[in-house]
Structure 1
Amino acid sequence: MADRIDGRAVATTIEDETAEKVQAYAKRNGQAPGLAVVLVGHDPASEVYVAHKIKKSAKVGIRSYEHRLPEDTSQEDLLTLIARLNIDTNVHGILVQVPLPAHIDEGAILGAINPSKDVDGFHPVNVGRLSTGTGGLVPCTPLGVLKLLDTVLDDLTGLDAVVIGKSNIVGKPIAMLLLEREATVTVTHIETKNLPDICRKADIIVAAAGVPHLVKGYWVKEGATIIDVGITRIPGGNGKDRLVGDVAYDEVQHAKAVTPVPGGVGPMTIACLLANTVQAAENLEAMRKLNAPA
């Protein structure tokens, strides 16, 4: 029977540590770090995510600045808001909830955020820092994946890792993080041939394809560690939907450990967002002190 990696428990530990850092920061600076959350339109999933982020921010003591904009907000107006948040000294982290409406260029918006305040880790500067191992703010979900692996594996050096999915949000960043930890990484995608054979050689599988129950039991060797990033809503019993991951959970119980869906990676994403916000605030604090007159 595979060990169940409890993302909720690990996330709670991170939140407790973040709350302590928030208190220490507020004691030094007279106020807690501030996170600006921008939501354009009324996408139901985005509404839920934003509500969770604001609730969790309050729990750890981070100040939230919520900006809800109508669906027809122009790209120019959104860029104007971001420019204002970039120079607002009360704001240490900026999060623009995606997806954005079709008439707005998502890349232009994310690229306009000050990299020092980019708590999602999506700005090209932070992506470049991650790929070169030179610091920067790390995307929240990949960071959460790494922290979950660390609860199971003492050392990733030399382990064979397979990342299923090459998205800029999860697949590529987690591959970079695993490489930084000296794992041997294979990134697969929709055109990959013989995916089951590739996975059967892996010590670590990170499934982030968004395909329900893609990873079958016979794909997984005994003793592997599996992180399931996928989450899809499918019809369940009694007319209710249920959430499932990319991994056929019941079939992979010969693995060393596996994350459930829900309750695995999901809670870690928000916990790491909060940690990134405090990290951004501390980085800006250090820069301010460095630039202060002697």
Structure 2
Amino acid sequence: MENEVLVEKKGHTFYITLNRPRSLNALTLNTMAQLHDAVEEYKADEDAFVAIVTGNGRAFCAGADLIDWVAERTPEEERDRARLKRQKGDFIGFSQECWKPIIVGVHGVALGGGFEIAISCDIFVATSDARLGTPEAKRGLAPGIAMIKLPRQIPLKVAMEIMLTGEDRFPVQRAYDLGLVNKVVQVETSWSDDQKRTAVLTACEEIAAKMLDCAPLSLQAIKQAAVRSRTIPLREAMHLDFLDLALNSEDAKEGPRAFAEKRKPRWTGS
């Protein structure tokens, strides 16, 4: 199996990179399987505190590779296909299963499944000229994950307009104004694709650096509380034990100790 997804760790930052640049990182079933494995590796690495997801080449991700998805397969290949489809759902739902923070950096396009990956991350950074949208209905398909997630992140009427029109050029600035995108990286039309990717990656790394100033278990407690409490009544949410993860840790002792000693904390994630 080719490396359609690359993983690398620098310090406490875990990099996940879509790596099918000749096809705008379009998603094959193998890509989804490797994305699933990459997130599982990130979750299991106790020394990785924050992840950054980007795409190589001209774009973040153009969505599903439709040629791959409709190709004829043997019964055995079809069973593998069904398994990989389940992993696709698992990956795009990862933000509710991985309590470590995940930042996405989008340049070029993030359409269909690529857009769904982006809105599934905790922090969404995009270049000013990026193309966003859900064109699935124009292909007789439906944006399976976006249908559920997008109306929870922006006003319903706007989400419906995007999905019901098969929008594939939703303005990044409007996405920012609606709170869907956290940061817009201004780029020039004269810039190369590599320059745009570098710019969005740098912006992601700046946010990651701020996160790394925080205790990793505190970040996990915050994310878990923010995600899980959205689906339960407020009174019930207030009685969940989100804080125990952070308050019963060694880092909870290190933070006040470092403050008293006037030095930077040395977080261990334990």
> How would you bin the TM-score normalised by the shorter chain?
0.3 to 0.5
> Taking CA–CA contacts closer than 8 Å with sequence separation of 6 or more, which of the two structures ends up with the larger relative contact order?
1
| Greater per-residue helix proportion | 2
Using the size of structure 2 for normalisation, the TM-score is 0.35
